[in-house]
Chains A and B, each alone.
Chain A
Amino acid sequence: MLNSRPQIVLFLSVVFSAVLMIVDTPLASWVANSDTGISPLLRPEWVLLCCLYWAIYSPARFSVLYAWSAGILLDLLTASFFGKHALALTLCVFLAQALYKQLRAFPIGQQAVVIALIALVYRILIVWIDGSTGQLQFSPWQFAPALTSAVVWPPIYLLLTWQSGRHGID
Chain B
Amino acid sequence: MSASAHGDSGANLFPRGLSLFSRSLILVVFSLALLFLDQRSVLLKKARGYMTSVVYPLQVLVDLPKTAFSWAEDGVQSRSELLLENQKLREQQLIQNAKLQKMASLQAENDRIRALLQSAERRNEEVLIAEILSVELDPYKHQIVVNKGSLHGVYEGQPLVDAWGVAGQITYVSNISSVATLITDSNHALPVEINRNGFRTILRGIGQADRLQLPYVSNSADVRAGDLLVTSGMGQRFPTGFPVAVITKVDQPAGAAFAEVYARPTGHLERGREILLVWYHDPSAKIAELENTPAGTANDTPPSTTESETSNAE
Q: Could you list which residues of chain A lie within 8 angstroms of chain B, going by C-beta atoms?
A: 1-3, 7, 11, 14-15, 18-19, 22-25, 28-29, 36-41, 43, 60-66, 68-73, 76-84, 86-87, 90-91, 94, 97-98, 129-130, 133-137, 139, 142
Contact = CB atoms under 8 A, between A and B. Distances in A.
Interface of B: 2, 4-11, 13-14, 20-21, 23-24, 27-28, 30-35, 37-39, 44, 48, 51-52, 55, 58-59, 61-62, 66, 134-141, 143, 145, 171-172, 179, 186-187, 207-211
B34 A41 contact: no
A94 B20 contact: yes
A135 to B, nearest CB: 7
A133 B8 CA distance: 31
A82 B31 CA distance: 7
B55 A77 contact: yes
A104 to B, nearest CB: 16
Contacts, number: 161
A82 B5 contact: no
Nearest to B180: A79
B122 to A, nearest CB: 35
A19 B61 contact: yes
A90 to B, nearest CB: 5
Contacts of A60: 9
26 contacts: A1-B8, A7-B7, A22-B58, A23-B135, A24-B62, A24-B134, A37-B207, A38-B207, A41-B140, A60-B9, A62-B9, A63-B9, A64-B20, A68-B27, A70-B6, A73-B6, A77-B55, A78-B138, A79-B138, A81-B38, A84-B35, A87-B35, A97-B20, A129-B35, A136-B140, A142-B140
B27 A79 contact: no
Contact of A79 (B23, B137, B211): B137
B208 A37 contact: yes
A70 B207 CA distance: 28
Contact of A65 (B10, B33, B37, B136): B10
B61 A38 contact: no
A87 B137 CA distance: 18
